Amino acid sequence: MARVYNFSAGPSALPEAVLQRARDELLDWRSTGMSIMEMSHRGKDFVAVAEKSEADLRELLAIPANYKVLFLQGGATGQFAAVPMNLLRGKTKACYVNTGLWSEKAIGEAKLFCSPDIAASSKESGFTIIPSRSDWRIDPDAAYLHYTANETIGGVEFQDIPDSAGLPLVCDMSSNILSRPLDVGRFGLIYAGAQKNMGPAGITVVIVREDLVGQALPGTPSIFDYKKQADNGSMLNTPPTYVWYLLGLVLEWLKEQGGLAAIEARNIRKAEKLYATIDASRYYSNPIEPDCRSRMNVPFRLANADLEKVFLAEARTAGLVNLEGHRSVGGFRASIYNAMPEEGVDALIEFMGEFERKHG
């Protein structure tokens, strides 16, 4: 069987070593005579898997002891609602930075619970920049400041942690968590769907400072109440056990690669060589300002848009798949998350050069 280079934005490629291990353990996990997906989530075997996953995540991200780590369901979309339900704490406003479609979705959901105050927006630029920090307007009476670390569709990424002016800082880190070292202590809450860098779709990680837990809005469903989830070990209901197990395998793989510093160095090399190829060509273009280009999602276009379908077809023949841009923006997008090897990026660059020579 020939594996392709999968540039999907999510669900995304998983490390091949993780898939091979999952295959080997599928029918008989550690001589139990059954698959881990068949086990009780409250049995000692699965509880040990869950506890190790949390311990490995805490180690990789150096998560301080005064933070809760939750493994939930509903994706980032569920957290768009859960964040205001848990963090308003008697206030009626929350600040949001709008840098793309996922920021807008978070803002839209927050409107169900409070008055979102747009601290900054790059909408007028077509979401090709991050607004200058000097232009941010952060209301000191707001409950928190929310931003999206990496806009998967537009290809914009924060390269540092913004100053929240004393408010709890909340971040949707779905598409770049575990791609670089992180100072978790600067955040009030981080949330991330697993399906980019942590594992398959179906589980969401929430890292929340303890003082922000326990003040959910009246009427908050139990499944969205951080305190109830924390008190029940993220098992208020039956969790997605097999996905949780796979997430744990990805965390082990990350440790084997040398941790987040080593992964960041690899991610920088991958992104720099792909952007350099685009910038050196008159045939390809990327619309994002260089100082906020995403290391995870690289959008690009052809000089001749009529050849987009030809590009995709020839790329598939070359073993390069899922390069379509998001339906809302078109063009192309190469998602080069942690699991994408450098060889995959090199293969894409070689193909792009050959395509330009042939059709340019």
Catalytic positions, please? 102, 172, 196
Q: How many CA atoms lie within 13 A of 12 on its CB side?
A: 28
Say if residues 87 and 144 touch (Cβ distance below 8 Å).
yes
Cis, bond preceding 11 (omega within 30 deg of 0): yes
Residue with tokens 């800082």: 169
The token pair that represents 46 in the structure block = 């699965």
Task: Please report, in angstroms and rounded to a whole number, the separation of the first and last CA atoms in the chain.
Answer: 33
Residue 324: φ, ψ to 5°: -65, 140
How many CB atoms neighbour CB 71 within 10 A? 23
Residue 147: φ, ψ to 5°: -145, 160
Say if residues 272 and 36 touch (Cβ distance below 8 Å).
no
The secondary element (H helix, E strand) that includes residue 264 is helix 259-279
Strands (E), 62-103: 67-72, 93-98
Of 126, 161, 157, nearest to 145 (Cα)? 161
